[in-house]
Amino acid sequence: MIYTALGGAGEVGASCHLLQIAGRNIVIDSGLRPNRRGEESLPNFELLQALTRGKVDLFLLSHAHIDHTGSLPLMHAQYPATPMLCTEPTQVIVDILLRDTIKIMDMQREDGGEFPLFGRREVENALAHLQTVAFDRWVEPIPGVRVYFHRSGHIVGAGCVLIETEEGKVVYSGDISVAAQRTVAGMKPIDFFQPDLLILEGTYGDGAHPNRSSQEQTLAKAVAEVVEDGGTVLIPSFALGRAQEVILILKFSMLSQTISTFPIYTDGMVRWICDAYYDMRDPERGLLPYLPEKLQNFVRNSRQHVFWSRPRRNMPEVSRLQANERVSILTKGPKVIIASSGMLVGGPSAFYAKALASDRKNAIFITGYQDEESPGRRLLELQTGDTLKIDGVDVPMLCRVDKYNLSAHADQIQLCQQVSYMKPRSIVLVHGEIRALRTLRDKLIDKYIVYAPRNAETFDPMKAPEWMSAAKQEYLEADRARFVGDVRVTGEGVEVRFPAEMRNHPTWRRRYADADEIEVAFDGPRMRLSPSRKDPS
Ligand SMILES: [Zn+2]
Ligand SMILES: [Zn+2]
C-alpha cells in the first residue's frame, strides 16, 4: 500500500489523497485552496500523473466543501472515464458550489486578467459524471474495491469513506464532527470496521472545544445585546454549514423567547445553499430527508422553509439580500447580517465589514476556522482602534469583535476517541496546520504508527517510520497479534496448544523460538510469559 499527499497535508485546503492499493489507484477528494489563485490553489496534479502513469481507477468524495471538491472539474477533465462517487446530498450541494466557482473565476479574470482554471463545460461534464451512493451500504464500484460511506457529522451529506480490498482496509475520515449540530447529527463511532490505515483530519488536533450549547446561548445573547442597543451584527460565515447553523441558533432562540425578535438577513453564497436545503415545490426532495429528525418535524409541522420566514409574533424575518440592497440595508434599523465569505476574503462579508467596523454600536462575530493568512484571523488579533486591511482598504476597527466556537470539527479528545474505536494499525494525519497535527501525533504515537506528512510525500503507511525505534516497532507489531490456544489439564500438568501459525510470527521467532522454558507470572487477570534458556552457553 502506498499513500501520497497530493494536497491538504499540513494545511486546510486542496485536500487530495492518492491511495495505491491492490493494484488500484484511488484518489480521495479533489479540493481547492480557496484563498489562493490559479495553479497555486490546486492539488499536485503532475505528481498524480507521474505516480499513476495516467491511470486513476476511482475517485471518492467525502463531502461538498470546496477544499474537498473545488478542483473536481479539472480532475474529471484529465481522467474522464474514472468513476466518481459521493453521497446524494453532496452531489446536490457540489452542483451549486461549482457553478458559483465559475462565477468567481470569471470575476477574478475581469479584475486581474487571470485565466480561469476551468469553465462551464468542465463543470457540467464533471457534475454529469458524479454517481451517488447511499450511506451505510457497501458497494463495489470497481472489481476488488468495496466502498462504504459512514455519516461523519460536520455538514449534511458528509461521510467517512471506508475502503476494503484484498491488500488491506482503509478509513478516510474526511471532516468529522462528533457533537450534534442543528443541521446534522453527530458522527457515530466506527466500531464495526478495523482499518489497517486511517487517514484522519486534525484541524483541532491541539484544541479542546467548549460546551456547544453554552456557546450557542452566549452567541445568541450577544447578538441580541448589540441589536437592542441599536447596532448591526455581521457574522461572516462559510456558505455551507456554519451559516445555516447560525440562522437556526438565532431563530430558535427567538421562537423560545430566550432573546428578542429581530430580522436576519443573508447575503452571498449562503442564500443559494439555504435554498438547496429545502425545495418548496417538493419538500420531500432536496436535503430535507438528511436533516436531523427534530428539524424535519419542525419543518413539516410549521409548513415553512427550513430557513426563510416572514415576521410573525416570535418568528423573525429571515431573508436574502439582493446585490442592489447592500447599501440601503445599512441604514435600515438594527439587524444581523450573515454573509459569506467566512474569513473576510472578499465576498459580501468583506463589503459589510468595511461599512460597519468603524461604528462602536456595531459588532463582528467570528464563529469559524480562520486561516493563518486571512483578514478574519488578523481581526481577532487586533486591539480596538487598530486598522485592518480588508479588500485593500484600511478600516479603523471600533466595533465590538468576539469569537464563538461553533466548530464543525472534532477536538483532540474526540479525535483520539474515534481512533480508539477503529483501532487502526497506522494513521496518517492531514487537514490541519502542522502544529495541530504534530500535537495530535504525540498523543497517538504510543499506540499506533503515526505520520503527519507534508504535501508531495509518498510512502508505505504500513511501515513504521525510520525514526521509530526497533523496540517500539516490535511493540506495535506485537500488540495486534492474538492467538487462542486450547487448554487441557491432565495428571501431568497444564497443556496449552496454540495454532501452528504462531511459529511464523516475527516476535515468536525472535523471542521464543529458541526458548527451552517459558515462565508464567500471574498478573491480575492476565498472565505474563517470559522465555528462558536452561543453558545460557
Ligand atoms: Zn469540510
Ligand atoms: Zn475540509
User: What residue ranges do the domains of the chain occupy?
Assistant: 2-208+408-459, 212-403, 481-532
pLDDT for residue 368 is more than 90: no
State the DSSP code for 354: H
The C-alpha atoms of residue 260 and residue 256 are separated, in whole angstroms, by 10
Å from CA of 232 to ligand 1 middle: 29
**ipTM for this prediction:** 0.99
What confidence score (pLDDT) does residue 535 get?
66
Least confident of 69-73, 439-443, 496-500: 496-500
Å from CA of 79 to ligand 2 middle: 23
Whose cell is 497479534? That residue is 481
pLDDT for residue 91 is more than 90: yes
Q: Which ligand is nearest to the CA of 64?
A: 1
Read off the pLDDT of residues 188-246 as tens digits, 9 standing for 90 and up. 999 999 999 999 999 999 999 999 899 999 999 999 999 999 999 999 998 899 999 99
Å from CA of 74 to ligand 1 middle: 20
Of 403, 427, 271, the closest CA to residue 340 belongs to: 271
Q: Which residues contact 48 (CB under 8 A, 6 or more apart)?
A: 4, 6, 16, 18, 27, 56
Å from CA of 304 to ligand 2 middle: 31
What confidence score (pLDDT) does residue 433 get?
94
Per-residue confidence band for 135, with pLDDT thresholds at 50, 70 and 90: very high
Stretch 372-378: mean pLDDT: 87
The one-letter amino acid code at 259 reads I
Å from CA of 76 to ligand 1 middle: 21
pLDDT for residue 169 is more than 80: yes
Q: Which ligand is nearest to the CA of 67?
A: 2
Whose cell is 501431568? That residue is 492
Phi-psi region of 249 (alpha: psi -120 to 50; beta: other; left: phi over 0): alpha
Per-residue confidence band for 351, with pLDDT thresholds at 50, 70 and 90: very high
- Mean pLDDT is highest, among 92-96, 165-169, 505-509, for 165-169
Q: Which ligand is nearest to the CA of 158?
A: 1
Per-residue confidence band for 44, with pLDDT thresholds at 50, 70 and 90: very high
What mean pLDDT value characterizes the chain? 91
Fold agreement (2-208+408-459, 212-403): no
The C-alpha atoms of residue 219 and residue 235 are separated, in whole angstroms, by 10
Q: Which ligand is nearest to the CA of 11?
A: 2
Å from CA of 375 to ligand 1 middle: 20
Stretch 500-508: mean pLDDT: 86
Stretch 29-48: mean pLDDT: 92
pLDDT for residue 109 is more than 80: no
Q: Which ligand is nearest to the CA of 176?
A: 1
Read off the pLDDT of residues 509-535 as tens digits, 9 standing for 90 and up. 888 888 888 888 888 888 888 888 776
What confidence score (pLDDT) does residue 310 get?
93
Assigned architecture for domain 2-208+408-459: 4-Layer Sandwich (3.60)
**Better-scored residue on pLDDT, 521 or 59:** 59
Å from CA of 421 to ligand 2 middle: 22
First to last CA, the chain: 43
Å from CA of 62 to ligand 2 middle: 9
**Better-scored residue on pLDDT, 134 or 288:** 134
Å from CA of 368 to ligand 2 middle: 12
Stretch 452-480: mean pLDDT: 84
Stretch 466-483: mean pLDDT: 76
The one-letter amino acid code at 532 reads S
Å from CA of 131 to ligand 2 middle: 21
Å from CA of 67 to ligand 2 middle: 5
Of 340, 321, 342, the closest CA to residue 332 belongs to: 321
Contact 104, 171 (CB under 8 A): no
Å from CA of 67 to ligand 1 middle: 7
In Å, what is the CA distance from 326 to each residue of 249, 267, 323, 363, 483?
A: 24, 9, 6, 17, 69
Q: SS3 helix, strand, coil % of the chain, rounded to 5?
A: 35, 25, 40
What confidence score (pLDDT) does residue 315 get?
92
Give me the torsion for CA of 337, 338, 340, 345, rounded to 10°: 60
* CATH number at 212-403: 3.40.50.10890
The C-alpha atoms of residue 475 and residue 477 are separated, in whole angstroms, by 5
